Amino acid sequence: MQRIYLDHNATTPVHPAVLEAMIPYFTAEFGNPSSAHRFGQRGRQAIEGARECVAALVGARSSEIVFTSGGTEADNAAIFGVVAHALRTQGKSAAAPPHVITTTIEHDAVLNTCRALEGRGVSVTYVPAGLDGIVSPDAIRAAIRPETALISVMRANNEIGTLQPVEEIGAIAAEAGVPFHTDAVQSAGKVPVDVNRLGVDLLSLSAHKFYGPKGAGALFVRKGTEIDPLLYGGPNERGRRAGTENVAAMVGLGKAAELARADLAEIAAHFADLRDRLEKGLLARIPGARVNGDPARRVPNTSNLMLPGVESESLVIALDLAGLACSAGAACSSGAVDPSHVLTAIGLTPAEARASLRFSVGRANTREEIDTALELIPAAVVRQRSVGPTQEMAAAQ
């Protein structure tokens, strides 16, 4: 059976060149990069080379890149780090506890971090997105208070792909003197990401979203931005992340960043061609189907469609049995009973959210695969609409 993978927002396969770059650091190049001898220093050199590649991808200095275990840790390090620094330096003399501004459509790595802060007495404002899945910069401006310690707004939404007006928000944050963080996990390798153009002070990346290894990520911390570390121990990562470095993962992230920077325009055009071919075909073939979120202001590889009359989790399983992988929402929420918080936040009813599928194309997808998908998906929708999700799954088994 032909297998078609259209879930690249969940994860991407490791690029062969990335794997090749990593392999030596599992074998001969095993030294601890904190060691002074040659074994250790070769590992240190590899890490610093990878750091330069990540910095180049986002337009930063290499000294501003902190390696992490992924996007979730990078988000936590940014948000907890800034707020912890504010709490430590302001102490009991502050007129009010620190205040954080974020949005209702953030990834759980941001939302749950903010909820944890609320449990510690920190005030959080959750700015809503519009029906188009985009947050208003004016709404961010209106939420700023004298005690606002951080603004965190994602660059690209992981479920619907919408690009947030980070540049405008960055200007607002700078004017107010408030540190600004963006989760760029779903935008790196799909659209240009430049920390200076965006006006951000902190930016999160995850390697496995752009053909690097799982368990590797990075946080950009602009020079002069103060954060307290999440982990305490040795002086690794300039004191910002203690622990012996995962050299192989860092090298893999660096190579993935190098590849993403080298052919970004070409790959983005490839993504858009396949995404649009799939989306137009499905809209034409499935009565009542519609795009969730703004159809223009989004990353080029992502399409989130509401397909009335279906139950998305059952449809995902039915499509998997037919050889096609897609998603009912964020990978981190797979199997959740509740409808997508992103889709309900932009105005979909719970039933509409449960009838929505996310398709995200990647480097290796072809037009031929898309054409096959255009046969499989409408057929699965017709079956489910005619017999219902429970009966369809029973028949498939």
The residues that are catalytic are 332
- Backbone φ and ψ for 173, nearest 5 degrees, come out as -65, -45
The angle at the Cα of 82, spanning 81 to 88, to the nearest 5 degrees, equals 85
Phi/psi of residue 163, nearest 5 degrees: -90, 125
Helix residue ranges per DSSP H, 135-218: 137-143, 166-176, 195-198
Residue type, 89: T
The β-bridge relationship of strands 290-291 and 302-306 is antiparallel
- What SS3 class is residue 318? helix
d(CA 9, CA 361) in angstroms, rounded, equals 8
- Angle CA 140–146–148, to nearest 5: 55
In angstroms, what CA-CA distances link 202 with 71, 113, 170, 327, 378?
Answer: 12, 15, 11, 29, 42
> By three-state DSSP, how is residue 5 classified?
strand
Inter-CA distances, 238 with 44, 46, 67, 196, 235, Å: 13, 16, 11, 22, 6
**C-beta atoms surrounding 122 within 10 Å:** 23
Structure tokens given for 12: 């991407």
The CA radius of gyration of the chain, in Å to the nearest whole number, is 22
Q: For residue 234, which amino acid is it?
A: G
Cα distance between residue 114 and residue 76, in whole Å: 9
What three-state secondary structure class fits 384? Answer: helix
> At which residue do the structure tokens 């995850």 appear?
206
